[in-house]
Chains A and B, each alone.
Chain A
């Protein structure tokens, strides 16, 4: 069974801090994604990656960056956290080929104070 693991379930950070959210998948998937989820707004795509060192902006990339140095790991970086980045962050992965579903982690709830 595919496992997508997010390193923290809850994080509390201060405004202006640099924040790293880590995601690891164990199924050798090419594609990895970062979403944020807010009440009334559903899931919105921040960034995605289709290969090591490759990345593409999603719908709301402002204030975020990503890193994918190894195939199994996809990191989301908040360069200078702000209160409007308080949210639930969800990581997902899927294989590069074929008609296959997304596999999600259980999320990291980030609070920026």
Chain B
């Protein structure tokens, strides 16, 4: 299973764009990259998923370079409510069962 490496923590201010990068040097051909968000006292919540290039939804964008050895979660114009822990996961979903590994995540603190 591909291991991921993320910064332990990041600080930002309201209204700024935040980019969190995840390294996954041994990503496999069939692996997808998925990001989750977790607030205190809640389970993680799916944010975005991608395989290559760029994916955008109403919450975030995910940038994946051609070699796929890293990915960047981009949160536009963060607010205080974006303060959370963000997890990057790499794994194959295609068929059957796939065991996923969560790292320790990136703790994002957004200040006024």
Cβ-defined contact, A99 with B32, below 8 A: yes
Separation of A107 and B41 alpha carbons in the complex (Å): 7
Cβ-defined contact, A35 with B102, below 8 A: yes
Separation of A90 and B36 alpha carbons in the complex (Å): 14
Partner of B102, one of A42, A98, A101: A42
User: CB-defined interface of A1-26 with B at 8 Å, one 1/0 digit per residue?
Assistant: 00010000000000000000000000
Cβ-defined contact, A42 with B87, below 8 A: yes
Cβ-defined contact, B102 with A43, below 8 A: yes
Majority secondary structure, B binding face: loop
We find that the number of chain B residues with CB closer than 8 angstroms to chain A is 23
Chain B, residue nearest A94 (CB) = B93
CB-CB contacts below 8 Å: B60-112 with A: 87, 93-97, 99-105
Cβ-defined contact, B97 with A50, below 8 A: yes
Q: Contacts A41-B104, A98-B93 known; A105 to B43 CB distance under 8 Å? A: yes
Chain B, residue nearest A105 (CB) = B43
Chain A, residue nearest B34 (CB) = A101
Q: Contacts A43-B102, A106-B41 known; A101 to B95 CB distance under 8 Å? A: no
Top-7 shortest CB links A-B: A104-B43, A101-B46, A43-B102, A42-B104, A99-B93, A50-B97, A42-B102
Other CB < 8 Å A-B pairs besides A31-B97, A41-B104, 7 of them?
A35-B102, A42-B87, A42-B102, A50-B96, A96-B97, A101-B36, A104-B44
